[in-house]
């Protein structure tokens, strides 16, 4: 099963990438290879479909963009790895719940390489270390095709998260890999993550819906 991995150079503005993902999903068919897009965004707050204005506390000079992903408000910026998963659920033989579980477990597997014990929470999607959030997830499914994906905090300025209620939760603390592994770099994370994702999503032969 083919998968194409694209690494975007430089910082990317959110809205053009958002439009490219939607267009890719609208135009694809059962023969289109799945894709993972890896990139960093210029600073931006994005509101999910269920996003409430009350969770934007003080955005200041950082723009706020409405998205069609699931979830509430979050922040994207330099030093955070965006992992956009453009996948055909039918071809993967997965339901959305299984797909989300595999994405989250991929991040847990990655963190384990760095001696970090990550876990999920029943009350909210994403990956946590203790009660602090290190990776957020927000997806959209159209005609059985997924887009949007994961945002993994690697080595970034976390201050903008204090301007919002991240993912709609009051006083949720956001952390990053650099807190545990000071010399971590994005290229290292990308190199380590790609084979984990490929194994979890495309080489696993016992998917269940």
pLDDT at 205 over 60: no
Provide the whole-model pTM. 0.94
Would you say 123 is a known binding-site residue?
A: no
Would you say 74 is a known binding-site residue?
A: yes
49 vs 161, more confident: 161
Question: In 3D, which of 81, 46, 73 has the Cα closest to residue 153?
Answer: 81
Three-state DSSP state, 20: helix
71 vs 107, more confident: 107
Q: What is the CATH number of domain 3-202?
A: 3.30.930.10
Would you say 46 is a known binding-site residue?
A: no
Three-state DSSP state, 18: helix
Ordered by start, the domain boundaries in the chain are: 3-202
Q: Mean pLDDT score of the chain, rounded to an integer?
A: 93
pLDDT at 93: 94
Would you say 77 is a known binding-site residue?
A: no
pLDDT band, very low/low/confident/very high, at 3 (cuts 50, 70, 90): confident
pLDDT at 209: 37
The answer to whether residue 87 is catalytic is no
pLDDT at 200 over 50: yes
pLDDT at 206 over 50: no
Give 103's Cβ-side CA count (13 Å radius): 30
Average pLDDT over residues 76-93: 97
pLDDT in tens, 138-154: 999 999 999 999 999 99
pLDDT at 170: 83
d(CA 201, CA 11): 27
pLDDT in tens, 13-36: 999 999 999 999 999 999 999 999
DSSP 131-197: TEEEEEEEEEEETTEEEEEEEEESS---GGGGGB-GGG-TTPPB--GGGT-TT--HHHHHHHHHHHH
Query: Could you say which of 87, 122, 135, 167 is catalytic?
Result: 167
d(CA 59, CA 65): 11
Question: In 3D, which of 129, 122, 127 has the Cα closest to residue 137?
Answer: 127
Would you say 149 is a known binding-site residue?
A: yes
């Amino acid at each position: 099963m083919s998968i194409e991995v694209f690494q975007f150079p430089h910082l990317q503005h959110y809205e053009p990438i958002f439009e490219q993902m939607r267009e890719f999903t609208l135009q694809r068919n059962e023969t289109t290879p799945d894709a993972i897009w890896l990139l960093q965004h210029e600073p931006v707050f994005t509101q999910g479909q269920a996003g409430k204005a009350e969770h934007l506390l003080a955005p200041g000079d950082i723009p706020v963009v409405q998205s069609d992903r699931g979830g509430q408000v979050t922040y994207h910026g330099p030093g955070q790895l965006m992992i956009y998963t453009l996948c055909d659920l039918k071809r993967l033989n997965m339901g959305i719940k299984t797909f989300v579980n595999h994405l989250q477990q991929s991040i847990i597997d990655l963190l384990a390489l760095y001696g970090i014990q990550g876990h999920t929470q029943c009350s909210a999607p994403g990956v946590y270390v203790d009660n602090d959030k290190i990776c957020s997830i927000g997806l959209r499914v159209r005609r059985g095709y997924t887009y949007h994906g994961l945002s993994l905090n690697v080595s970034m300025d976390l201050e903008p998260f204090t301007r919002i209620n991240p993912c709609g939760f009051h006083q949720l603390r956001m952390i990053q890999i650099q807190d545990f592994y000071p010399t971590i770099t994005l290229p290292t994370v990308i190199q380590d993550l790609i084979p984990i994702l490929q194994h979890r999503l495309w080489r696993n032969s016992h998917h269940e819906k």
